[in-house]
Homo-oligomer: A and B are copies of this chain.
């Protein structure tokens, strides 16, 4: 195999995580070691949309310190997108445009950092370029706080979000103990179809302070059982802390929330408002004072409390993706394979993009407790290694420093 010589195009897509930029750091730092095979890392602004619009950021033009700060910067430093590529057999206009751009900038390596939908994009581009015989290696770099990608033990981004949620739930729980007669507090946690993040609230209980009840989208939500659960806890403790996924659905698969009826570009319902809905029900039907908490984007952006394990792995999947394209690999996603939980040990592998795209991995039933309102030891054994260690922010004058790119 003769190594290709050209530029590496990198992009971010889908919802940000607090460590997706650490993967960018991994890509950039590894790519630099392979000059001149990789001449420059060119980043698309707003993912594939940036490629189509020729809207690029050149890493060779950036200050070293700004590249370093990527390890501490949340959000998508290069911009994200939710643009779905059409099937090229139906409409190849986007692909023809991409091919033109790839040739113009001599793009021979293409890395796309995202979740299920992004892997779909990545796969479609790989298939097209392969079909028209344009020589390019394409690899997917996994990320998502939702942890719902298949083929990989877990996804970078999940560990840090889980750590934020666990620690914040502890704080809310300890705060609630202040008053002898408390309230029912319902915390709404992200995760459309997979309850991994909501389940992470359970970690808080290891400290002695955490949620009493946890409702995942994997379990059909029964409002009467919910009321019974809450009553039981409240009668005993005079307070109740609940973690609930934004994506809980009744047994007919209808979201408890989604009153807005709005769908995003991928046809997913936009969710939110579950916790306030349930808090109203608790107040009205049970006559118990209640309140709702919505962390919103904080849970995916909390760069001030990252998991060191997660940051390290996020960097590593970026590096592995670069090594893979240089080895001539293509149409694959980097995956994390867990060798053991205790001691925690992982290996990095590659799996076909098709197997990773458009599939949502849910929390398996064997990790859910018998009363279907919490998780069990199996889940804790799975999740604990992912939140270990800290990656302290680079504070300056009391606030974090984030990457500023030219």
Contact = CB atoms under 8 A, between A and B. Distances in A.
19 contacts: A15-B178, A76-B178, A80-B178, A80-B179, A163-B398, A170-B400, A171-B302, A171-B304, A174-B402, A175-B297, A206-B397, A208-B402, A293-B298, A294-B296, A295-B295, A304-B305, A307-B398, A384-B398, A389-B398
Contact of A46 (B18, B176, B180, B291): B180
B206 A172 contact: no
A204 interface: yes
Number of copies of this kind of chain in the complex: 2
A239 interface: no
A320 interface: no
A207 interface: yes
Interface bracket on A = 35 or more
Top 8 closest A-B pairs, CB basis? A293-B296, A387-B398, A171-B301, A75-B174, A80-B178, A175-B301, A76-B178, A75-B175
A395 interface: yes
A257 interface: no
Contacts of A175: 16, 74-75, 297, 300-301
Contact of A172 (B171, B272, B293, B298): B298
A294 B297 contact: no
A388 interface: yes
A273 to B, nearest CB: 8
Contacts of A7: none
Contacts of A170: 399-400, 402
A76 B76 CA distance: 37
Contact of A79 (B75, B177, B206, B387): B177
A265 B16 CA distance: 43
A307 B294 CA distance: 24
A136 B80 CA distance: 64
A145 to B, nearest CB: 11
A60 to B, nearest CB: 23
Contacts of A384: 397-398
A284 B108 CA distance: 47
B305 A305 contact: yes
A68 to B, nearest CB: 16
Contact of A167 (B73, B209, B387, B400): B400
A263 interface: no
Interface string A368-393: 00000000000000001001111011
A404 interface: yes
